[in-house]
Amino acid sequence: MNQQENAALTRIGQIAINAHDVDRATAFYRDVLGLQHLFRAGQLSFFDCGGVRLMLDRAEKPEFDHPSSILYFQVGNIRAAHKRIKDAGAKFEDEPHVIAQMPKYDLWMTFFRDSENNLLALMSEVPRPAATE
């Protein structure tokens, strides 16, 4: 690899998510979202989501004590996922809806809150019948 390739940002390895109560947040990401819990290290709790690690943590400094970026979790069937997560106790802001018509698919989304009141979303790319031939 040359110098440029060595310095290249290849992918997202981890995302930090602020939690005010790491036990409560761990239960939410494990039991409501069904993500795989990797390990716990003190006040840090790690999950895997399709190869990206999520790190739940209490803010170290006031500067870091703000909500998470919106993470858009990909699902195959957004209506079924919406129902399962809602039935498991998550608070949704809306119903699944088409947010953008892309050339080959419709992009569906629905927004919800985690146990720490972070705004998150489910997303699903639904191919158009004409594009699947």
Residues 6 or more apart from 10 whose CB is under 8 A from it? none
Locus of tokens 């996922």: 81
For other proteins, the binding residue among 22, 25, 26, 68 (CB under 8 A) is 68
11 sits near other proteins (criterion: CB under 8 A): yes
> Which residue in the set 70, 98, 126, 131 belongs to the binding site for other proteins (CB under 8 A)?
70
Which residues, including other chains, have CB under 8 Å from residue 28's CB and lie 6 or more apart? 90, 114, 115, 116
Does position 92 interact with other proteins (CB under 8 A)? The reply is: no
36 membership: H or E segment, kind and range:
strand 36-41
Contact with other proteins (CB under 8 A): which of 27, 30, 106, 113?
30
Rule CB under 8 A: which residues touch other proteins?
1, 3-18, 30-37, 48-53, 63-64, 66-77, 80-81, 84-85, 88, 119, 122-123, 125
